[in-house]
Structure 1
Amino acid sequence: MSDDAQDSHERAVAALETQIGLLVRRARAFSTSVAAEVHPDLDHSAYGILQRLATVGAERTTDLAAFLGVGKPTTSRQLSQLVELGLVERTSDPTDGRASLVRLTADGSRRFARVREDRRANLRRQLAPWADEDVESLARLLERFNDLGAGRPDPQQERAAD
């Protein structure tokens, strides 16, 4: 890589770092707000569990923790709060009687769906001026970026290596 290309790459990485920092701060405030909309006593850090369970249905605690990138004790503590609030329930795993699964209760599913629809409607309004291709590109690039943190290989780098 030439010096000019390296400098350009460094500037791009620095700009990305700044934007990620801003996104994280705004995401924290956003998650606090939407968690309170689901239930006034819901800790914002547990909102991601509701989001995951709404997507996959039922899941083991260990798999949930791995997906979220947090330890099992953290996930267990958050699940305890969600169970106490009546948003999540534990059930036995039909494939392994020693294990249990967690899933949204009917109330948890209803509350989460309402908040998710409000959130998506807000996003639709905010992104209305954007071209569909730009929204799709942003979603694709964020997925690719998030995959880096999940330990999954970058498919573009794999294709380049072939």
Structure 2
Amino acid sequence: MGAAVQGTGDQEFLALERELSVFLRRARASSGEMAREVHPELEPAAYGLLVRLEETGRQRATELAAYFGVGKATMSRQLRALEGLGLVTREQDPADGRAFLVRLTDEGRARFLRVRDARRSRYMRKLAGWDRGEVAELARLLHQLNKRAEA
């Protein structure tokens, strides 16, 4: 009886859930494609690490783990894999000699930027009929959703 007696206020959230489910399914598939374009052996989940490292420059593994909401062991495994592929490197943190900072290698950055630019071109083609203000509003709303998810 619970599902049949939903208030009208729930409809917006049900629609949001449905659309986000489709969007996330497509995003996962797209991330897998992007990861393979960067390197055939790159795990789809690791593509987001490259995005973050390009954005921030370099970070500690613990900061990356906190940002993505994963454990230290998972992050260490993903970073070792990226390091093994020559896409990232670790260097001692000048602020704390016991810690390491992770950054993209030149090869990792070049591969990532090539794929990112191709992805941006695809978005531009898919959203060609949209007003730039609509694109900006969608980006703003997604940013707001992501920020609240971090909290």
* TM score, norm. by length of structure 2: 0.94
Instruction: Give the equivalent residue in structure 2 for 1:21.
Output: 21
Gaps of 5+ in 1: 1-5, 152-162
Establish whether residue 87 from structure 1 lines up as the match of residue 87 from structure 2. Answer: yes
Gaps of 5+ in 2: 1-5
Instruction: Give the equivalent residue in structure 2 for 1:137.
Output: 137
Deviating 4+ runs (over 2 angstroms)? 6-9
What does the per-residue CA deviation read over 1:20-61, in whole Å, with 9 as the maximum and x for residues that have no partner? 111111111001100000000001111111010000011000
Query: In the TM superposition, what are the counterparts of 1:49-60 in structure 2 within 5 Å?
Result: 49-60=49-60
Instruction: Give the equivalent residue in structure 2 for 1:46.
Output: 46
Identity fraction in percent: 50
Report the RMSD for the aligned CA atoms in angstroms: 1.0
* Structure with the bigger percentage of helix: 1
Instruction: Give the equivalent residue in structure 1 for 2:3.
Output: none
Residue 68 of structure 1: CA displacement? Answer: 1.1
- Distance in 2 (CA, whole Å) between partners of 1:138 and 1:38 is 27
1:113 partner SS: helix
- Distance in 2 (CA, whole Å) between partners of 1:57 and 1:85 is 19
- Distance in 1 (CA, whole Å) between partners of 2:8 and 2:38 is 44
**AA in 1 matched with 2:82:** L
- Distance in 1 (CA, whole Å) between partners of 2:96 and 2:134 is 44
Instruction: Give the equivalent residue in structure 2 for 1:158.
Output: none
Instruction: Give the equivalent residue in structure 2 for 1:110.
Output: 110
**AA in 2 matched with 1:26:** R
2:145 partner SS: helix
Instruction: Give the equivalent residue in structure 2 for 1:30.
Output: 30
2:25 partner SS: helix
Residue 8 of structure 1: CA displacement? Answer: 3.4
Establish whether residue 72 from structure 1 lines up as the match of residue 55 from structure 2. Answer: no
Residue 9 of structure 1: CA displacement? Answer: 2.3
* TM score, norm. by length of structure 1: 0.88
1:52 partner SS: helix
Instruction: Give the equivalent residue in structure 2 for 1:3.
Output: none
Residue 118 of structure 1: CA displacement? Answer: 0.3
What does the per-residue CA deviation read over 1:64-108, in whole Å, with 9 as the maximum and x for residues that have no partner? 111111111111100000000000000000111111000000000
Residue 7 of structure 1: CA displacement? Answer: 3.2
2:8 partner SS: helix
